A and B are shown apart, each in its own frame.
Chain A
Amino acid sequence: AQSVAQPEDQVNVAEGNPLTVKCTYSVSGNPYLFWYVQYPNRGLQFLLKYITGDNLVKGSYGFEAEFNKSQTSFHLKKPSALVSDSALYFCAVRAVYNTDKLIFGTGTRLQVFP
């Protein structure tokens, strides 16, 4: 079965420092991986995706993610955190071949302190 795990419930980082939000996956076949962000009282917003090609994917708001096949990971990163990045972050993987159904992780709350 396809699955995705976010091992950290919360990540705390000081403003200006680099941040990493972790995600590992388990799939049959090639993984299609996504990151979403959720701000309070809002729906999930798409940040970036990995389908194929370059292992470093760049997305919205200065975020990027690194696909690592050997470690089955897709960690979200940003070189310099902003207080406004504080939100709930979800990693997702496509469920099965040839479907648009996504399996979401449990979410990681990012708190950026001034």
Chain B
Amino acid sequence: DAGVIQSPRHEVTEMGQEVTLRCKPISGHDYLFWYRQTMMRGLELLIYFNNNVPIDDSGMPEDRFSAKMPNASFSTLKIQPSEPRDSAVYFCASSRMSGQGNQPQHFGDGTRLSIL
């Protein structure tokens, strides 16, 4: 079975440019999560969706960040305008609905973003 698929795997762009990260969750999964990983801050939850609806976006660092999930098989995380401090590895994860939080999350291999 295909896992969570993220694209691109690597992105290098200049400060001020718009960046769009993409994620295809595992088919049948109801939850989708976006995380950011840095050496300084570790793994941070940015936002998560349930059945395509954003549930908690309290981790989104500022208005430059936005996320959408137009359908059950696709989500985007957009940064506009990008800044060097946004450089990090961004992960997407998905999980089945449990209602009790006992289902594991399945992670993609991430997008390594470098803002010059």
Contact = CB atoms under 8 A, between A and B. Distances in A.
A113 interface: no
Nearest to B48: A101
Contacts, number: 57
Interface in A79-114: 90, 94-95, 98-102, 104, 106-107
A16 to B, nearest CB: 29
Interface string B38-74: 0000110100101000001000000000000000000
Contacts of B106: 46
Interface residues of A, number: 22
A43 B42 contact: no
Interface in B70-116: 91, 93, 95, 97-110
Interface of B: 4, 31, 42-43, 45, 48, 50, 56, 91, 93, 95, 97-110
